[in-house]
Amino acid sequence: MGIISPGFTGRGRSGSDLPPGQYLTQDFPVLSAGPTPHVLPEHWEFTIATESGEMHRWDWAAFQRLPAEEITRDLHCVTRWSKLATDWKGVSLDALFEDVETAADFVMAHSYGGYTTNLPLEDLLDGQAWIAYQYDGEPLAAEHGGPARLLVPHLYLWKSAKWVRGLVLSDTDDLGFWETAGYHEYGDPWKEQRYAGD
């Protein structure tokens, strides 16, 4: 048995906690609700649409000119695997929102391929979320959301939309793909918010 066994919820040697009901995995499972879209960087764009319809747009070149951060975070999937200390490189949502004027409280993330997931805007700001394009020092593989994915590691991983293509700001908290199917609208792994009503 390892130092950290399934069900262990104390403080691990890495300084990371394992949320309740999660087990550790060393590999990196792929969970996709449909086929993997293959988006070439030269065809990729990322947009932020405000609640008043104002569009902010970055193509791959403009996105690459934004300041990038290297981050190490734990991942927690609602199917109960957790992977600790994963290494990413990406642009923080703080940088992308710098010139965005909004009073909206909610965001719907949209992906190439049609996936959606909803989040409160405040969960994307203050160093909590990135558009990540490298994993473990390599360009992000298509199966894990490349060329770029949303990364919101403090929430269950279904909130980290792979192949993200844009965010739409809204005054109302609408439900995304898994949230419509009965998963929790917020998804805090520490509170085990797996399903609506948890």
Ligand X SMILES: Nc1nc2c(c(=O)[nH]1)N[C@H]1C(S)=C(S)[C@@H](COP(=O)(O)O)O[C@H]1N2
Residues of the shown chain interacting with Mo ion in the complex, contacts defined by CB under 5 A: 31, 77-78, 158
Nearer to ligand X, 60 or 163 (CB): 163
Measured CA to CA, the distance from residue 49 to residue 58 in angstroms comes to 12
Residue 100 contacts which entry, Mo ion, ligand X, none (Cβ below 5-8 A, type-dependent): none
**Residue 67: how many CB atoms within 10 A of its CB?**
8
Q: What's the sign of the alpha-carbon dihedral 184, 7, 145, 164? A: positive
| Cβ 82 to Mo ion shortest distance, Å | 11
Nearest by Cα to 10 from 1, 26, 22, 25: 22
| Cβ 181 to ligand X shortest distance, Å | 11
Residue 29 contacts which entry, ligand X, Mo ion, none (Cβ below 5-8 A, type-dependent): ligand X
Nearer to ligand X, 19 or 113 (CB): 113
Rg (CA), the chain: 16
**C-beta of residue 117 within 8 angstroms of C-beta of residue 158:** yes
User: Mask: binding to ligand X, 157-196, rule CB under 6 A, as x and -?
Assistant: xx-xxxx---------------------------------
The answer to whether 115 contacts ligand X (rule: CB under 6 A) is yes
| Cβ 163 to ligand X shortest distance, Å | 5
Asked if residue 35 has a cis previous peptide bond (ω within 30° of 0), the answer is no
SS3 state at 141: coil
- Site for ligand X, rule CB under 6 A: 28-33, 77, 111, 113, 115, 144-145, 157-158, 160-163
